[in-house]
Amino acid sequence: MLNVKTPEEVKEIINKSFPSENMPGSFRSETVGAAHALGRVLGEDVVARDNVPGFNRSTVDGYAVLASDTHGSSESIPALLRLAGEVQMGESAGLRLISGACVIVSTGGEVPEGADAVVIHEFTEDYGNSMIGICKPAASGSNIIFYNDDTSKGDIVLSSGKKLSAHDIGILSALGYSEVVVRKKPVAGVISTGDELVPVSDAPKSGQVRDVNTPMLLAALYHYGAEGKDFGIIKDDEEAIRSAMLSAVESCDIVLISGGSSAGLRDMTADIIGSEGELLLHGIAMKPGKPTILGKVGNKPVFGLPGHPVAAYMVTELFIRPLIANIMGATIKNKSATAKLSEAISSNHGREEYIPVKVDNITATAIPVKGKSGLISGLADIDGYICIPRDCEGLPKGSTVTVYYL
């Protein structure tokens, strides 16, 4: 009955059914102040508009010289140079240095034309009367950042799709970008279904549980760079779910219907998706996350997520996170690490299994966090997850595993 696919097949279905270039919400951009661009995705290549720095800069405090004037100099036979002045910080050097002369320059100051090296103070001696002794030969280019060492005008310094870090904001600033074009955040609608669900602020009666998925998924979506839109808790009623779904499809780029733990409700969600659009899959051969549905309604992806929070979270991390990145044209690079398993794990479910782990950085050990399916408290301390392949019956203690950080 279930049209169960492997996680790899699911990724292919998603990429084939929702190619970025066809998604209604793809690649929309907006301009924001660079100060508010942290974590946003670049909407176009950032090109150097000028050479950076715009002049030859000293990297030390010392004397700008012609390197050739210093050749053969030593402590005992210093090269004698005439002091021709001092470069003021923030001002043009305003002179052309000629052989036999030197000028005082500070770190970050302009090295005058003609000069091709800076000698630091400790290798010089001031004899008074504007005579400076250089006690060590300087190589041409030493202690200078040349006017286009950092970037040359026209260089692509940051590529479209990059998620901006604090140092990227530094790069934008160096290039004179006080504003930057970033991708608009895709809008993801979240619908929670289930007669047993009550809002977080309510006290559940017997048989009821609080709606964990809505706040958790909204937070995860925000973390992935999307804007979550809350469609509330919907009862197990076909027309109510249909109406919420159509409203979410109308105003969002992607829709997450969570809940429907029972087989009947899963079928109802699948039927609604099928009648309003196309059902693409019904079941993923993974643990947790098997009862996942995916369909296409109005050219937009509609996910039916498991009701169990841990399963819903894992499916969102594995499939919806990359889809959101695709809509933005974002290049995401997961942080991962190699670690040794702290204990043996058995797995013989015929399904790819995703196991949450804590990581001990000191010993590079991955500690599996176990617990009955559906418990959420076990997630409190996790750092990431490991994946046990479908055909693997388990891993012995001490196995080398890849931890994918969350």
**Which residues inside 298-357 make contact with its own copies, applying CB under 8 A?**
307, 309, 313, 333-338
Give the helix/strand (H/E) hosting 70.
helix 67-70
Answer for which of 72, 178, 389, 396 binds its own copies (CB under 8 A) is 178
Distance, CA of 3 to CA of 281 (rounded, Å): 6
For its own copies, the binding residue among 153, 343, 364, 370 (CB under 8 A) is 364
Pick from 72, 76, 205, 239: which binds its own copies (CB under 8 A)? 205
Asked if residue 234 binds its own copies (CB under 8 A), the reply is no
Q: How far is the CB of 34 from its own copies (least distance, A)?
A: 6
- 196 belongs to the binding site for its own copies (CB under 8 A): yes
Q: Which two tokens stand for residue 262?
A: 């029972």
Q: Is 267 in the site for its own copies (CB under 8 A)?
A: no
Residues in 15-54 at the binding interface with its own copies, rule: CB under 8 A: 34-35, 38, 50, 52-54
Closest approach of its own copies to the CB of residue 28, in Å: 23
Separation of alpha carbons 322 and 301, rounded Å: 13
Do 16 and 8 form a contact (C-beta atoms < 8 A)? no
Q: Which of these segments, 71-79, 143-151, 246-254, 273-281, binds its own copies (CB under 8 A)?
A: 143-151
Among 24, 100, 154, 170, binds its own copies (CB under 8 A): 170
Q: Return the amino acid letter for 342.
A: S
Residue 204 engages its own copies in binding (rule: CB under 8 A): yes
Which one among 85, 114, 133, 215 touches its own copies, defined by CB under 8 A?
Answer: 215
The interface region with its own copies, picked from 7-15, 70-78, 198-206, 237-245 by CB under 8 A, is 198-206
**Taking the complex as a whole, how short is the minimal distance between the CB of residue 102 and its own copies, in angstroms?**
17
Q: Least CB distance from residue 236 to its own copies, whole Å?
A: 6
DSSP annotation of 111: P
Two tokens at 366? Answer: 């991955």
Instruction: Find tokens 């997450």 and name the residue.
Output: 256
Length of the chain: 406
Counting contacts by CB under 8 A, is residue 149 touching its own copies? yes
Which runs of E-coded beta strand occur in 169-248? 179-183, 187-193, 197-198, 209-210, 227-234
Q: CB of 108: closest distance to its own copies in angstroms?
A: 4
Q: For its own copies, which residue of 13, 32, 83, 145 counts as binding (CB under 8 A)?
A: 145
Strands, E assignment, 184-277: 187-193, 197-198, 209-210, 227-234, 254-259
For 263-273, letters b (16+ CB in 10 Å) and e give eebbbbbbebb
Residues 54 to 113: which contact its own copies by CB under 8 A? 54-55, 57, 59, 61, 87-93, 106-110
Strand arrangement of the beta sheet that strand 293-297 belongs to:
227-234, 187-193, 254-259, 300-305, 293-297, 278-282
Of positions 70, 124, 151, 326, contacts its own copies by CB under 8 A: 151
